[in-house]
Amino acid sequence: MRRHQFERHYSNRSGWLRAAVLGANDGIVSVSSLLVGVAATHVSRSQAVVVGVAGLVGGAMSMAAGEYVSVSSQADSERSDLERERRELAADEDSERAELAAIYVQRGLAPALAEQVATQLMQKDALAAHARDELGLSATHRARPLQASLASAASFATGALLPLLVVLWSPVAILSPVLAASSLLFLALLGGLAARAGGAPIGAAALRVTLWGALAMAATAAVGSAIGALA
């Protein structure tokens, strides 16, 4: 007997994947760019490490705070929409049922079937049905500020740790080029892994991430060299 094969979908990964990739990418780009700029001023290894650690901690806290505020605002909007929908259901359930049925008609169901589906779903959980099909909200994609905050901070710190390790192990005399090359390699790998996890083309994603990282490091290296020449 042939087993039913379930199709693999990637859209359910979009939330955590976006946050993880964004955090790690920012960690690599921010700290490596900072260190490349500092290395261009010919500082010692210990000074570069202090700068890198400060960048890691400051960046992780900034990512955590920014993500928490952003996702909290999203959660507030979701709660407001749900409360409004709850009041509308309590005030006029028939109109809300007709509204839900109209949504299903727009999606291709026959009016009679749409009415039947709306009725059955609302008998089970009217608010959940309207939240999902009218507002586009679901438990899977619900905003979770604290979780998003911690995930962003952790992913930033993980990404930022990579160029810091390069500083610890690389000869000071060639620190800038080694930092730049290794950071671009890290970015390319990150872009490729993210694309693979999301089912997207690997080459294009890796190239896109690497290009923007190279531009950021080139800009900070130029600034660091200019400051080093003036000092």
Among candidate residues 134, 133, 131, 153, the one with its CA nearest the CA of residue 143:
131
Domain ranges of the chain: 13-218
pLDDT for position 162: 92
Q: What is the pLDDT of residues 73-105, one digit of tens each?
A: 888 888 888 888 889 888 888 888 888 889 999
pLDDT for position 90: 86
Q: What is the pLDDT of residues 100-130, one digit of tens each?
A: 889 999 888 898 998 898 888 888 888 888 8
User: Cα separation of 32 and 144, whole Å?
Assistant: 30
The set of residues, in sequence order, having a beta carbon less than 8 Å from that of 189 and lying 6+ positions away, is: 206
The set of residues, in sequence order, having a beta carbon less than 8 Å from that of 204 and lying 6+ positions away, is: 195
Average pLDDT of the segment spanning 144-172: 88
pLDDT band at 183, cuts 50/70/90? confident
Residues in the chain: 231
Residue 213 contacts residue 32 (beta carbons within 8 Å): yes
pLDDT for position 204: 79
pLDDT for position 158: 92
Residue with structure tokens 């920014």?
Answer: 66
